[in-house]
Amino acid sequence: MPGTAGRAAIGIVGAGSLGQAYAALLARAGDDVVLVASPASAARLQAAGQVSLTGAVTADVAVGAPGARGGTLGVTDDPAALGAVDGVIFATKAHQLRRAAADVAYAMAPQADRPWWVAGVQNGLIKDEILGDAFSEARLVGAVSILGAGRESDGTVRIGGLGMTYLGEFDPPPAAVTARVHDLVGRLVAAGIPAAGVPDIRSVLWSKACNAVGVFGVSVLTRLAGPQMWANPDLVRAFRALVRETDAVAKASGVTVGDYRGFPIRTYLQMTASEHVEYAAGLVASAPAGPVAPGAYPSMTQDLLAGRPMEIEEVFGDVVAKAERLGVEVPRITLVSDLLRGLNAAITG
């Protein structure tokens, strides 16, 4: 399945708001893209005939069958339709990843001799362990996404912000951006998605984990969007406490967190509490006024409000388990994890 300039297609697995955003933007830019969705989502998208984006990007991208060309997004519910892709980006929810990876690994078995890669843009750290087990570590590219998106009631995907997508190799080589990472970064940038290759993807992953534990822990339990969280000094301090505990686990794992677009964790840790409160207030003051859009809620809070299962074990439970193995005390994260498990059980029945 040749793509733009002779390149093979890219597969996207998972047709939630994030998967649709990546797939539609890449297809709009001329890449051949195959979006693997659940049967219900595939049928809905095919009936609609397009993926509609609004917010930071406004576009309608036509939907067709796998192999479609000319800016049309191929949609299917069959992983075997991926064919000879250059790589596969998994954009499912984290708790759906293990099943999705197993299905794709089975479907891609005939392509075992080709050098395709896999990457996951889920929240949490366990995603890369799941993908490494399903496909081999040699195929694994580390990925971190802070593209913010949510679905409107009519199915339109509202992009709150394109954020940044970070990509990098786990090993080897530890301090280089490889050809496959460079190629994927180029495709994303050409599609209007800010992206960068980094030499230390573990630092980015743990830095985002710090941010995710803090943001999700506060937002889900308060049911507040980002602007409302950062405007409240008490909630900023709660966020800081969760970030500090996650950072302690990162340090015990041999990883130093850093400053990255959207989550400058090193700077947060260097601030005093009062400085952080003032910094957060500045973010709120500089934000555009208007009603809170779906994309302004963190993804886990979107799931809560929609009554969908949340990624508790993959984001919080995994950090607690890592902390226990390393002998690091994380009482606040443990408490939040327990509260969120109970909340998750209540909303999902």
Token output for 137: 């570590």
Between residues 278 and 7, the one the model is more confident about? 278
Mean pLDDT calculated for residue range 86-101: 96
Confidence of residue 278 (pLDDT cuts 50, 70, 90): very high
Distance of CA 231 to the CA centre of its chain: 25
Percent of the chain clearing pLDDT 90 (strictly above): 83
Please tell me the distance from the alpha carbon of residue 228 to that of residue 297, in angstroms, as a whole number.
Answer: 10
- Assign residue 47 a region: left if phi > 0, alpha if psi is -120 to 50, beta otherwise? alpha
**Cβ atoms of 74 and 45 closer than 8 Å:** no
- pLDDT tens digits along 65-85: 998 887 899 999 999 999 999
Please tell me the distance from the alpha carbon of residue 316 to that of residue 337, in angstroms, as a whole number.
Answer: 6
Spell out a b/e string for 220-248, using b for 16 or more CB atoms within 10 Å of the CB, else e: bbeebbbbbbbbbeebbebbbbbbbbbbb
Confidence of residue 297 (pLDDT cuts 50, 70, 90): confident
Mean pLDDT taken over the chain: 92
Mean pLDDT calculated for residue range 117-137: 96
Spell out a b/e string for 268-295, using b for 16 or more CB atoms within 10 Å of the CB, else e: beebeeeebbeebeeeeeeeeeeeebbb
Half-sphere exposure of 204 (CA within 13 A, CB side): 24
Percent of the chain clearing pLDDT 70 (strictly above): 95
> 3-state secondary structure string, 212-233?
HHHHHHHHHHHCCCHHHHHCCH
203-348 CATH choice from 1.10.1040.10, 3.40.1390.40, 3.40.50.12160, 3.30.1330.10: 1.10.1040.10
**CB contact set of 79 (below 8 Å; sequence gap of 6+):** 13, 36, 103, 104, 106, 107, 108
Residue 122 clears pLDDT 70, i.e. is over it: yes
Q: Which helix (H) or strand (E) holds 197?
A: strand 195-197
**pLDDT, position 1:** 41
How far from 9 is each of 15, 27, 89, 240, 298, CA to CA, in Å?
17, 10, 11, 42, 30
How far from 199 is each of 99, 173, 202, 225, 253, CA to CA, in Å?
30, 9, 9, 33, 18
Confidence of residue 226 (pLDDT cuts 50, 70, 90): confident
Confidence of residue 169 (pLDDT cuts 50, 70, 90): very high
**pLDDT, position 180:** 93
Mean pLDDT calculated for residue range 260-284: 94
Residue 228 clears pLDDT 80, i.e. is over it: yes
Q: Strand, coil or helix: what is 140? A: strand
Residue 173 clears pLDDT 70, i.e. is over it: no
Give the residue extent of every domain in the chain.
4-199, 203-348
Return the axis-axis angle of helices 201-222 and 331-348, rounded to nearest 10°: 60
Q: What is the pTM of this model?
A: 0.92
Residue 3 clears pLDDT 70, i.e. is over it: no
Please tell me the distance from the alpha carbon of residue 78 to that of residue 313, in angstroms, as a whole number.
Answer: 28
**pLDDT, position 295:** 52
Token output for 51: 């993926």
- pLDDT tens digits along 53-67: 999 999 999 999 998
Token output for 57: 């990007």
Task: Answer whether CATH 1.40.20.10 is correct for domain 4-199.
Answer: no
Residue 174 clears pLDDT 70, i.e. is over it: no
- pLDDT tens digits along 137-159: 999 999 999 998 888 889 999 99
**Cβ atoms of 9 and 85 closer than 8 Å:** yes
